[in-house]
Structure 1
Amino acid sequence: MKRNPRARILLACSVAVIAVGWYAAQTVRPPDCDVAFSAFSDADGQPLPENGEEVTWDELGERAYQDMVASGRCEPPAARWRHWLG
């Protein structure tokens, strides 16, 4: 059975457009918002518990970012394509 090469090209282009569209629609932080934070760590390099609860570096970073958004020093996350437009 012979397949139409145009159909394969159309399928490949469609998949590429969908993949780029999905990638562009992902929510990301603004690239110009640098968040710095610090915490005490244990001998293994993990942050010490806060108020008796274990925390991770990612959670601490997310909290610091949300604090900066709440104070107006950083923009909230937006679709990636919005950052491409400048």
Structure 2
Amino acid sequence: MNPRHRARILPAVCVLALVVFGWYATRSVRPPDCEVTFSAFTGSDGQPLPENGEPVTWDELSERAYQDLVAAGRCEPPSARWRHWIG
């Protein structure tokens, strides 16, 4: 690879890395100190039983339990990942 070609690629790679880092830093996440616990009845396959005839997943049950904690004031709502980095 000749030096001129490398000189064009390096700024593009740096800009791409900056964009990816910015995207990652601004994703919304739960606070790390919020402990979410819940329970559910499961079938023989280990998946939660349907609620009101609707199938549910473990992720949906976890999100519902987290939203209940936020509504009760026991956990902070989700915020950008970078806010957790600065404390």
TM-score (norm 2): 0.88
Return the offset for 1:9: 2.2
Q: Which residue of 2 aligns with 1:64?
A: 65
Q: 1:37 aligned to 2:34?
A: no
Secondary structure, counterpart of 2:75 in structure 1 = coil
Q: Which residue of 2 aligns with 1:12?
A: 13
Question: Which amino acid is the alignment partner of residue 81 of structure 1?
Answer: W
Identity of aligned residues (%): 64
How many pairs does the alignment contain? 86
The alignment's C-alpha RMSD in Å is 1.6
Distance in 2 (alpha carbons) for counterparts of 1:53 and 1:19 = 37
Question: Which amino acid is the alignment partner of residue 14 of structure 2?
Answer: C
The Cα offsets for residues 38-65 of structure 1, whole Å up to 9 and x where unpaired, read as 0110111111111222111111111000
Q: For 1:46-85, list aligned pairs within 5 A.
A: 46-85=47-86
| TM-aligned CA distance change 1:2 to 1:85, over 3 Å | closer
Question: Which amino acid is the alignment partner of residue 14 of structure 1?
Answer: V
Return the offset for 1:8: 2.6
Q: Which runs of 5+ in 1 are unaligned?
A: none
TM-score (norm 1): 0.89
Structure 1 runs (4+) greater than 6 angstroms displaced: none
